[in-house]
Structure formats: C-alpha cells, structure tokens
C-alpha cells in the first residue's frame, strides 16, 4: 500500500510539474519576445507596473520566470528598482490564477485537453498551432497530475500521525510557514506547492486553518529562483532579488499577527476547502500589493540600505541621441559619434568578459554578457534609425559621408558583439561537456586575445580622435592577426593529427580563434573608415 501511495503522490507531482512547465513554455512561445518588450516599456508608473507583471505572469504561468526576467532587466539597466518591485507585485498576484483554476474540480477536462493538445502538436502545420497545442497539453497533464496526486494521498486518511502533523500547522503557524517555504524552495514553484496543498484538501487531509500557513510559506519559498538568478549580477539586480524576498517575508509576518481573523474571513468566501485555499492565496497577494504600493518609495530605500553600493548599471538605450538635434546636423553627428564610442566601450568589455569566462570556466557573468549583447543590438538599431532620420536633413557632402561611415561602424560593433556571444556559447559548451584544454592551447588563445583586444582599443581610439596614423597601424596589425591565426590553426591541426589534443576540444579551439580573428577584421573596418574620412 505504501509503495502504491508513494508512486501515486510522486508520479502525480511529477506530472503536475511537467504539465505546468509545458504549459508555461507553450504560452511563452505563443507570446514570443513581445513579453520582454512589454516588461521593458509598460512599467513607468507603479500601478501600470503591477498590471504588467500580472499580465505577463498570466501568460507564462510562472511568477518565478517573471522575477528572473525582471532581475535580468535590472542587471542591464532596463528597469529601476521601483519598476522592478511593481512588476514583482503584479507577478505575485498573477501566479494565484493557477491556484484558482485548479481549485475548481474540473479534472474531467484533463484527458480531453491532453488529446486536443497532442492533436495540435502532431497535426498543426504552423508553429503557433503547435505552441498552442503544447500549452493545452500541459494544461491537461497538470490536471491529470493533480488528480493522480490526490488519489495517491487517499490512504493518508487512515494515518493519525500524518493528520496530527498537519493539524499542528494550524496550532503553530510559524512551523507551517517554514515547511511551506522549504517545500516550495525545493520544487521552485509556488503554484505547484499550492497545488499539492489543494490536493491534500480534496481528500479532506488538511483543515483550512493548517493550509493557510503552508500557502503563506509557499510565497516565501518561490523567491529562491530569483535569488539564484541574481548570483554574480550587479547591485541593482541583487536589490531586485532581495526586494522580492522581503516583499513576501514582510507580508507573511504582517498576516501572522492576525492570522486567526484572516482565516475566519477567508472561510466565508467559499463552501469548499480547495476554493478557500485558492482565495487565501489570492487575498494574501492582493493585501501585499496594496500595502507595498502605498509604501513603495520607503520600501525601495530600505532595500537600498540592505544592499548598499552604487547603481553600477549600463544605461539602457541611447544616451546621446537627441531627436531635437536632427535639425542641427553637426550636433546630431557629434551625438551619434559619442553613442558609437559608448557602444565600442561595451563591446570591449564584452570581449574581455567572454574570453575570461572561456579561459577560467567561470560563467557567473554569462547573464550579464548576454544583456550586453542585447544592449549592443538595440544600440545598433537605434543609431541606424537616428542616422537615417538625420540623412533626410540638408547636409553637406562630408556630413552625408560621415553618416554612411557611422552606420557601417555601428554594424561592425554589432558584429563584434555577435562574435563575443559565439565565444560565450563555446565557453558554455567547454564547461558543460568538460572538454580538456591544455595549458598550451589556453596560452595561445590568451596571446591572440591580447593582440585582438589591443587592436580593438586602438581602432576605437583612432575613431574617437580621427587619428589616421593610428588607423594605419591598426590596418597593418590585421595582417599580423591573420598570419597568427593561420599559424595557430595549422599547429593545432597537427596536434589533433598526432593525437596530442582531444578532437572535440580542438574544434572549439579553432572556433574561438576564428571568432577572435573576425573581431580583428571588424576593428580593421572601423580603422578603414577613419582613413577614408
């Protein structure tokens, strides 16, 4: 009996988690990258930020995923702390919708949803249809898992020890909060934790008074995902993760002061315990939202006091492109040049961090590097749009030529970012698959990197100062880089042929030096623009 019960509970929980992940993944695929843009744009006012967080979490069915996205945006400087807090408030409300859905006994829809979802996946010709099928299939698996889990728990009705333990949570709410937080931290999903609590209530295994502390604890446990995502990030990102944790911890502490009244109030909202549990989850997060929206600024100051330090973020978007200056081409061109130099500085930092990550196998900055790549891509687009608008003005021949050169420079810097991203992916492959690299190979990569780094720095300096002499040195250096890359490639192929090098690692090595050589080519292109100016 015990084995059958264990298989039912753990199998049902596995189906529930897998179904939730599949549903969330399908919903994210349907929504696409538009969600990231929504988060980035619609968060200027706290109330709008809350609604945005709620909407995004409704679509992707994961407050943890929303929180991780917000941490990433804070790390890239796309959102300030107050914006991040408002979105997290909305995400916490949005995640309660899952509990509301599963609290209704509609598991009869599980098998039809699985059938419809599978049909859409295998028959659908458009990707949108397949993604919708994935979401529907996940929805069905979620309810099938809940039903299986609930049935597996039925024998626990005969266990006086288990029932007494659950009753203790009602008498000792702090113990229930701690258990709920620990369980949620382990499975990293407050929706799944609440689903388990609702499954217990469906078998009359847990009274509402004991379920409330567990639900409160699940809101704390779900913060683990954002905390993990903030490791290795900058101060604003760490503040965002801490804000997420404090938001829930403070809210739970406040509720614990009048948990008896809170429980009595929520019991009157529904006639069944599963519905009461879902309503408690929603009510707690709505209460938290109201409290923290009122005290948003003091709360943000508290977080900054707990995580002190400068706001060391990269300013998102263009910093020197002023559309009001388009009618003054000389000033506008100067602003575009400053923006290109800023873009070049980000590219230099990205190159340094990616090569360091490759050599040291330290990928803690991988998320930050990816954010820099997104920033470079965005700057290239904004610069080109700005320059295209500027080209419509009355310009001298020299100004028109410089605009064309700046567009070319923006493209070269964007391509440098792409090659850095390629090296980061190679670093992740090297680390994940534990490919061995000899000290000789790593020294050769370091040597080539130092030359390429110096060349890129010189290219940016000569672009800044319009130094044609330095530009000629950069162009001459390109031949040296080409010859060195060919020499390293030849010697490494010999090492592979003589079995002194592990072949998969050898392929990665060749890809790295190829990307470094391409970066040198783009640096040369920038120097060539200075010569032609």
pLDDT tens-digit map of 357-406: 888 888 877 777 887 888 888 889 989 999 999 888 888 888 888 899 99
Q: What pLDDT, on the 0 to 100 scale, is given for residue 525?
A: 93
Q: Which residue's structure tokens are 């620990």? A: 182
Question: What are the boundaries of each domain within the chain?
Answer: 2-306, 325-532
The half-sphere exposure of 458 on its side-chain side, counting CA atoms within 13 A, is 22
- Give 10-residue mean pLDDT values along the chain (533 residues): 66 72 65 53 66 74 69 65 81 79 70 83 78 79 71 60 60 82 76 78 79 86 76 74 87 88 86 86 87 85 81 62 79 87 91 90 79 85 91 85 92 93 89 79 88 93 90 89 86 71 75 92 92 83
Convert the pLDDT of each residue in 284-315 to its tens digit. Answer: 888 888 888 888 888 888 888 888 866 555 55
Q: Residue with structure tokens 């739970």?
A: 252
Provide the b/e sequence for 113-144 (b: ≥16 CB within 10 Å).
bbebbeebbeeeeeeeebbbbbbbbbbbbbbb
Predicted confidence at residue 82, as pLDDT, reads: 77
**Which pLDDT value is given to residue 452?**
92
- Each as own residue / partner, the long-range contacts of residues 468-474 (CB below 8 Å, 24 or more positions apart, any chain) are 468/530, 468/531, 468/533, 470/527, 471/527, 471/528, 471/530, 471/531, 472/527, 472/531, 474/523, 474/524, 474/526, 474/527
How many Cα neighbours within 13 Å face the side chain of 159? 16
pLDDT of residue 123: 82
What's CA 77's distance to the chain center, in Å?
13
Total count of residues recorded for the chain: 533
Euclidean distance between CA atoms 521 and 377, whole angstroms: 19
Tell me the pTM: 0.58
Question: Contact 496/407 with Cβ under 8 angstroms?
Answer: no
For 460-482, write each residue's pLDDT tens digit: 999 999 898 898 999 988 888 88
pLDDT at 34: 52
Q: What is the model's pLDDT at position 455?
A: 93
Fold of 325-532: Methane Monooxygenase Hydroxylase; Chain G, domain 1 (1.20.58)
**Region for residue 314 given its phi and psi (left: phi exceeds 0; alpha: psi -120 to 50; beta: otherwise):** beta
């Amino acid at each position: 009996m015990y084995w059958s019960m264990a298989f039912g509970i753990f199998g049902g929980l596995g189906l529930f988690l897998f179904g939730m992940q599949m549903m969330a993944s399908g919903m994210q695929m349907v929504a696409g990258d538009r969600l990231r843009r929504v988060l980035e744009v619609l968060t200027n006012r706290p109330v709008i930020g809350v609604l945005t967080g709620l909407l995004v979490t409704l679509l992707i069915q994961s407050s943890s995923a929303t929180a991780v996205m917000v941490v990433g945006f804070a790390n890239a400087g796309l959102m300030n702390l107050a914006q991040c807090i408002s979105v997290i408030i909305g995400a916490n409300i949005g995640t309660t919708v899952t509990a509301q859905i599963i609290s209704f006994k509609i598991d009869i829809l599980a098998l039809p949803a699985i059938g419809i979802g599978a049909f859409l996946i295998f028959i659908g010709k458009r990707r949108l249809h397949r993604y919708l099928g994935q979401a529907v299939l996940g929805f069905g698996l979620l309810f099938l898992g809940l039903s299986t889990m609930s049935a597996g728990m039925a024998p626990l009705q005969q266990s006086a020890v288990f029932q007494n333990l659950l009753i203790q949570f009602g008498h000792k709410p702090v113990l229930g909060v701690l258990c709920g937080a620990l369980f949620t931290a382990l499975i990293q999903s407050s929706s799944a934790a609440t689903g388990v609590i609702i499954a217990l209530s469906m078998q009359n295994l847990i009274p509402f008074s004991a379920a409330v502390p567990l639900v409160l604890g699940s809101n704390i446990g779900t913060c683990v995902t954002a905390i993990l995502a903030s490791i290795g990030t900058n101060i604003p990102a760490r503040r965002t993760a801490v804000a997420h944790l404090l938001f829930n911890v403070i809210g739970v502490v406040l509720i614990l002061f009048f948990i008896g009244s809170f429980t009595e109030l929520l019991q009157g909202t529904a006639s069944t315990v599963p519905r009461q549990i879902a309503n408690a989850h929603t009510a707690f997060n709505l209460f938290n939202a109201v409290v923290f929206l009122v005290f948003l600024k003091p709360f943000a100051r508290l977080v900054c006091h707990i995580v002190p330090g400068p706001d060391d973020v990269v300013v998102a978007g263009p910093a020197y492109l002023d559309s009001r200056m388009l009618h003054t081409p000389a000033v506008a061109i100067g602003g575009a040049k400053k923006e290109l130099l800023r873009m070049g500085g980000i590219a230099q930092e990205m190159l340094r961090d990616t090569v360091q990550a490759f050599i040291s196998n330290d990928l803690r900055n991988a998320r930050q590097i990816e954010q820099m790549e997104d920033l470079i891509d965005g700057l290239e687009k904004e610069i080109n749009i700005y320059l295209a608008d500027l080209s419509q003005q009355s310009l001298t021949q020299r100004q028109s030529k410089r605009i064309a050169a700046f567009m070319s420079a923006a493209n070269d810097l964007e391509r440098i970012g792409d090659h850095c991203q390629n090296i980061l992916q190679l670093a992740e492959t090297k680390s994940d698959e534990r490919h061995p690299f000899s000290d000789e190979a790593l020294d050769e990569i370091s040597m080539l990197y130092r030359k390429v780094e110096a060349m890129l720095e010189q290219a940016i300096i000569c672009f800044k100062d319009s130094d044609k002499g330095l530009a000629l040195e950069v162009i001459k250096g390109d031949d040296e880089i080409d010859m060195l890359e060919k020499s390293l490639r030849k010697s490494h192929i010999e090492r592979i042929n003589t079995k002194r090098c592990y072949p998969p690692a050898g392929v990665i090595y060749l890809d790295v030096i190829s990307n470094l050589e391409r970066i040198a080519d783009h640096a040369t292109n920038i120097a060539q623009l200075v010569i032609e100016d």
